[in-house]
Amino acid sequence: MDERAGAEFSLDTAAVLAAGESASAIRGRSPWFLAWRRLRRNYIAFAFLGLFFLVVFVCAFAGLYARHVAHIGPNDGRPLGVLHVHGDAIPIVSAGGYLDKHTGEPCPIGAPSDQCELLASIPIGPQWFNAGGRYVLGADSLGRDVAVRLLYGGRNSLIIGIGSSAICVVAAIILALLAGYFGGWIDFVISRFFDIFYAFPVVLLGIALGAALSVNGLHWNLGLFRINLGSGGIGIPLLIISYVLVPYIGRPLRGQVLSLREREFVEAAIAQGASPLRIMFSDLLPNIASSALVFFTLIIANNIVLEAALSFLGAGVHLPTPSWGNLISDGQNLIVTRPWLALAPGIAIVLTVLALNVFGDGLRDALDPRAKVKVEH
């Protein structure tokens, strides 16, 4: 059977494998072992997981690339710099202006227009590997190395994507366990919290929070619990994105907890005198862990896209700190002559999100082939 399924790999390989598993094949095996056995046969999912790790790996070493290959930091602009390519000196940002056609000097105010020509200052385009690793993808209008900013931007986008997903899933699990286990007024309050945030379009809510916190940041001091996030870093968008998506994970998990709460093993635990905390975290949590894990994988992709959208609109990561979203925004002014400025971060987002979504689908099928876990908003 394994051989047959292996010959017909698809995005649903794990589901196909699971459908063909006999009782003897799964008897005595833990759910995690079974999931791993299904997942490892899904070469497509693994290939895309490899792509994701490649992106993470490359971005993680942005500093090394900047120091030893590009020899420039992510925020170091050299608008007057010169690049030597095959013995030619090329300005990193070309000289422009309203210039005399014959002398090249700036035209004085009121000079006849037929004597002058209009030249824009345009940054250098992709040099690929002609300049010893410098300006591989060209420069932006401040003379910064686009490739370096792309890697640093990727690092920030991934930190926000993964970090916000982790915070979001942990918060959603806690709220779902509290609401589903205790029910009553606790469930009512938490569910209404979910409903209220569910009613807002995510991007609009993100923009509103981003705009509100963009000037002064977030500073809470509640004794032991302190938050001090400045407006310029990645902390604010990380927190906003994790906050606005909690209901989208919390609601389906709460539904699962409500269902599990009525099962015999929970009644048995209560009868044995187990505390609510123990039941929630030792009995209920393992049963929703597979769903939470799938949500986590899928929501990383979602959050990377959301970060890009917020940063593109100016409500996410603030310039000059790079992120894939604000790099696209930065590049749109030069989309005609220097399309790589916007294309490169766009392609990076597409590859990363595609990799995470394909792997997430494979993971979902492997963990529970019958589950219909997906993130919608």
Partner 1 sequence: MTSKRYRTVVLATIVAMAFVLVVSACGGGGGSGTTAPTPTGKHFANFRIAYDQGIDYLDPALSYTVQGSSIMWNVYLPLIGYKHLNGPAGATLVPYLAKAMPTVTNGGKTYTIYMRSGLKYSDGTPVKASDFKGSLERDFKVNSPGVGFYGGIVGADTCATTPATCDLTGITADDTSGKIVINLTAPQGDFEYILAMPFSSVIPGNAPAKDQSTHPLPANGPYMIQSYNPNHEVIIVRNPNFHASDFAGNVPEGNPDKMTITIYGDPSIALTKTLSGAEDYDAQQPPPDRLSQLQGEHADQLKVYTPANTFYFFMNNRVAPFDDVNVRKAVNYAINRRAMVRIQGGLASPTENIFPPTYPEYAKTNYYPYNLKKAKGLVRDAGVQGMNVTVYASDNETRRAPEMGQYMVQVLNSLGFNAKLTLINAEVYWTTVGAAANNVQIGFADWFQDYPHPLDWIDTLLNGTRITPTHNNNYANFDVTSVNNGIAQLKQQPTLTPSVIRGWSTLANTIMKQYAPWAPYLNVQYVDTFSSDMDLSCYVNHVNYQFDFATICKK
| Complex with partner 1: residue 199 or 336, whichever CB lies closer | 336
CB of 122 to partner 1, least distance (A): 6
> What are the tokens at 185?
């007024």
Binding partner 1 (rule: CB under 8 A), the pick from 26, 56, 131, 142 is: 142
> What are the tokens at 369?
């082939």
Give the number of other CB atoms < 10 A from CB of residue 161.
28
Q: Does 337 bind partner 1 (CB under 8 A)?
A: yes
| Complex with partner 1: residue 216 or 221, whichever CB lies closer | 216
Q: Does 104 bind partner 1 (CB under 8 A)?
A: no
> Helices (H), strands (E): how many in the chain?
16, 6
Q: Does 196 bind partner 1 (CB under 8 A)?
A: no
| Complex with partner 1: residue 201 or 230, whichever CB lies closer | 230
Binding partner 1 (rule: CB under 8 A), the pick from 167, 258, 319, 354 is: 319
Amino acid found at 168: C
Binding partner 1 (rule: CB under 8 A), the pick from 17, 116, 175, 366 is: 116
DSSP helix/strand/coil, 88: strand
Q: Does 218 bind partner 1 (CB under 8 A)?
A: no
Q: What are phi and psi of 145, to 5 degrees?
A: -75, 120
Q: Does 117 bind partner 1 (CB under 8 A)?
A: yes
Q: Does 131 bind partner 1 (CB under 8 A)?
A: no
Q: Which helix (H) or strand (E) holds 39?
A: helix 31-39
Q: Which helix (H) or strand (E) holds 218?
A: strand 218-222
| Complex with partner 1: residue 31 or 320, whichever CB lies closer | 320
Binding partner 1 (rule: CB under 8 A), the pick from 335, 347, 350, 371 is: 335
Q: Does 333 bind partner 1 (CB under 8 A)?
A: yes
Q: Does 206 bind partner 1 (CB under 8 A)?
A: no
Please report where in the chains the tokens 């876990």 appear, as a residue. Answer: 373
Amino acid found at 204: L
Would you say 237 and 317 are in contact if contact means Cβ atoms under 8 Å apart?
yes
Q: Does 314 bind partner 1 (CB under 8 A)?
A: yes
Binding partner 1 (rule: CB under 8 A), the pick from 37, 155, 318, 364 is: 318
> What are the tokens at 211?
């705009």
- How many chain residues interact with partner 1 (CB under 8 A)? 43
Q: Does 122 bind partner 1 (CB under 8 A)?
A: yes
Q: Which of 276, 221, 281, 212 is nearest to 243 (CA)?
A: 212
Q: Does 70 bind partner 1 (CB under 8 A)?
A: no
Q: Does 60 bind partner 1 (CB under 8 A)?
A: no
Q: Which DSSP state fits 9?
A: -
Binding partner 1 (rule: CB under 8 A), the pick from 6, 31, 63, 97 is: 97
Q: Report the C-alpha gap between 188 and 179 in whole angstroms.
A: 8
- 225 pairs with which residues across the strands? 222
Q: Does 80 bind partner 1 (CB under 8 A)?
A: yes
Q: Does 232 bind partner 1 (CB under 8 A)?
A: yes
Give the number of other CB atoms < 10 A from CB of residue 131.
17
* Category of 100 on φ-ψ map: left (φ > 0), alpha (ψ -120 to 50) or beta: beta
Note the residues at the interface with partner 1 (CB under 8 A): 75-77, 79-80, 93-98, 106-107, 109-110, 113, 116-122, 141-143, 211, 214-215, 230-233, 314, 318-320, 333-338
